[in-house]
Amino acid sequence: MKRISTFFLFCGIITAKAQTIPQQLANAIQKMEQHPQFAHATISLYVVESNTNKIIYAHNEQTGLAPASTQKIFTSIAAYELLGKGYAYNTPVSFTGNINNGVLHGNLMLKGMGDPTLGSWRYPQTNREAIVALIKTYLARQNIRQIDGDIIISNGSFAYQPLPGGWIWDDIGNYYGAGSYGFNWNENQYDLLLQPGKKVGDVVAITGTNPAVANFTINNHLSTGKAGSGDHGYIYLAPYTNTGFVTGTVPAGVVQFTLSGALPNPALQAGNELKEYFIAHNMPITGNVQVVNSTDSTGPNIGYLTSPRLDSMMYFFLQKSINLYGEAFIKTMAAQQTGEGSTENGVKLLQNFWQARGIDAYALHMQDGCGLSPQNRVTTYAMVSAMQYARNKDWFNSFYAALPLYNGTKMKSGTIGGAKAFTGYQTAKNGTVYTFAFIINNYNDAAGSVVPQMFKVLDILK
Using H for helix, E for strand and C for coil, what is the string for the chain? CHHHHHHHHHHHHHHHHCCCHHHHHHHHHHHHHCCHHHCCCEEEEEEEECCCCCEEEEECCCCCECCHHHHHHHHHHHHHHHCCCCCCCEEEEEECCEEECCEEECCEEEECCCCCCCECCCCCCCEHHHHHHHHHHHHHHCCCCEECCCEEEECCCECCCCCCCCCCHHHHCEHHHCCCCCCCCHHHEEEEEEECCCCCCCECEEEEEECCCCCCEEEEEEEEECCCCCCEEEEECCCCCCEEEEEEEEECCCCCEEEEEECCCHHHHHHHHHHHHHHHCCCCECCCEEEECCCCCCCCEEEEEECCCHHHHHHHHHHCCCHHHHHHHHHHHHHHHHCCECHHHHHHHHHHHHHCCCCCHHHEECCCCCCCCCCCEECHHHHHHHHHHHHCCCCHHHHHHHCCEECCEEEEEEEECCEEEEEEEEECCCCCEEEEEEEEECCCHHHCCCHHHHHHHHHHHC
Distance (Å, whole) CA 7 – CA 294 = 82
Distance (Å, whole) CA 157 – CA 292 = 11
Identify the pLDDT of residue 269: 98
Distance (Å, whole) CA 72 – CA 343 = 14
Going 315 to 318 to 322 to 328, the CA torsion angle's sign is: positive
Distance (Å, whole) CA 291 – CA 414 = 35
Nearest to 388 by CA among 352, 362, 423: 423
The pLDDT profile of the chain, 462 residues, written as one tens digit per residue, is: 334 444 344 444 444 457 999 999 999 999 999 999 999 999 999 999 999 999 999 999 999 999 999 999 999 999 999 999 999 999 999 999 999 999 999 999 999 999 999 999 999 999 999 999 999 999 999 999 999 999 999 999 999 999 998 899 999 999 999 999 999 999 999 999 999 999 999 999 999 999 999 888 999 999 999 999 999 999 999 999 999 999 999 999 899 999 999 999 999 999 999 999 999 999 999 999 999 998 666 688 999 999 999 999 999 999 999 999 999 999 999 999 999 999 999 999 999 999 999 999 999 999 999 999 999 999 999 999 999 999 999 999 999 999 999 999 999 999 999 999 999 999 999 999 999 999 999 999 888 899 999 999 999 999
Buried b / exposed e along 170-207 (16+ C-beta atoms within 10 A): ebbbbbbbbbbbbbbbbbbbbbbebbbbeeeeeebeee
Nearest to 268 by CA among 208, 342, 210, 214: 214
Distance (Å, whole) CA 327 – CA 346 = 9
Are 174 and 262 within 8 A, CB to CB?
yes
Identify the pLDDT of residue 1: 38
Distance (Å, whole) CA 448 – CA 442 = 13
Residue 285 identity (one-letter amino acid)? I
Are 45 and 380 within 8 A, CB to CB?
yes
Task: Residue 299: count other Cβ atoms within 10 Å of its Cβ.
Answer: 17
Nearest to 164 by CA among 180, 152, 148: 180
Distance (Å, whole) CA 359 – CA 73 = 14
Q: What is the pTM of this model?
A: 0.93
Identify the pLDDT of residue 448: 87
Distance (Å, whole) CA 331 – CA 323 = 13
Identify the pLDDT of residue 298: 67
Distance (Å, whole) CA 95 – CA 422 = 48
Residue 442 identity (one-letter amino acid)? N
Nearest to 240 by CA among 207, 216, 256: 216
Compute the half-sphere exposure of residue 82: CA atoms within 13 Å on the CB side of its CA: 22
Give the CA angle between residues 75, 398, 167 to the nearest 5°: 25
